[in-house]
Amino acid sequence: MTNQDTTQDLVNHYLMTLRNQLYEVPLTARDEFMNEITEHIAEGRANLDPGDIEGLSTLLAHIGSPSELAREVIAGQREQQRQMGWLRRVRLGPALALLVAIFVVAGLLWLTHYQPLRQSPLSQTGPSISYASGKYVPQVNAASSDLPGEVPIWNMPKGTSTVHITVSIENAGGFPIKITGVQSPTQGWTMFGPAQVGFGQYEGGPTRPFHPFTVGGHQESEVSLAIPMHCMANSETVELSRVLVSTSFFGQTHQTWINTAPFNIVFAKSC
């Protein structure tokens, strides 16, 4: 074997050892680094005699041992990966923060505006008026009140009477809603007194007093109102068609108007 063969064997052994030491480095980066070292060795050998074993050994020692080079390359790869991971976190951080903020704001908006309550048309119960004695006042248009869309009409009785309203509440949503209060629909009308609110109904008013209750998702319930009415002479007509319902949902309170079966009361000409 000639000295030239020996020098080539030294180069091949050096390069093979270096490649084996770079097993942790990704293939593309490994090939790039191996090409650089191969070219560096070829450039150094250009100034040497092809059979100069001592000169080649000095050149390879100057470049560095395969294990030293491999440690440097692997350390550089790890540092690059660490920096890339940090950059990804830096870049994704604001986007993730914005996304979280959007979800939080959207959730709060949904929570504060969630209102699935409405009048239950299937359980709608018509209103009525009773005298102080408990006897019911006849409707003015009772003979034709069964016509579609016609609203019941009563003449205001003299003295004191009671308006009976049943509020049918349907929860059209999937989450339970707590009903915390029901207000009379006659606020601002001096001929009406404060409503007696409760459950059930008889001539004198609700059979049970009101207390907060929960309407489950896709369920319905009823609340009764008995509103005292005092005769007032006037030519106007009072239209009562909705009540104000107070609710609570996940700590958020709301007030919602719930429609009732509409009816009219024509004021008395004299009391």
**Domain ranges for the chain:** 3-82, 117-266
- In this prediction, residue 145 has a pLDDT band, given cuts at 50, 70 and 90, of low
Backbone angles phi, psi at 39, to 5 degrees: -65, -40
Virtual torsion, Cα 165, 171, 177, 178, nearest 10 deg: 20
- Picking from 132, 227, 215, the residue whose alpha carbon sits closest to that of residue 179 is 215
| pLDDT (average), residues 154-171 | 89
* CATH tag, 117-266: 2.60.40
| pLDDT (average), residues 243-263 | 87
Start-end of H helices in 138-189: none
182's tokens: 């029901």
Q: Residues of the chain with pLDDT > 90: what percent?
A: 11
The string of pLDDT tens digits covering residues 225-246 is 998 988 888 766 777 778 889 9
Q: Taking CA 27 as the corner, what is the angle to CA 25 and CA 33, rounded to the nearest 5 degrees?
A: 70
Q: Is 245 helix (H, G, I), strand (E, B) or coil?
A: strand
Pair 123, 168: CB distance under 8 Å:
yes
Is residue 92 pLDDT above 60, yes or no? no
The single-letter DSSP state of residue 202 is: B
Between CA 39 and CA 44 the distance in angstroms is 9
The single-letter DSSP state of residue 111 is: H
pLDDT of residue 186: 67
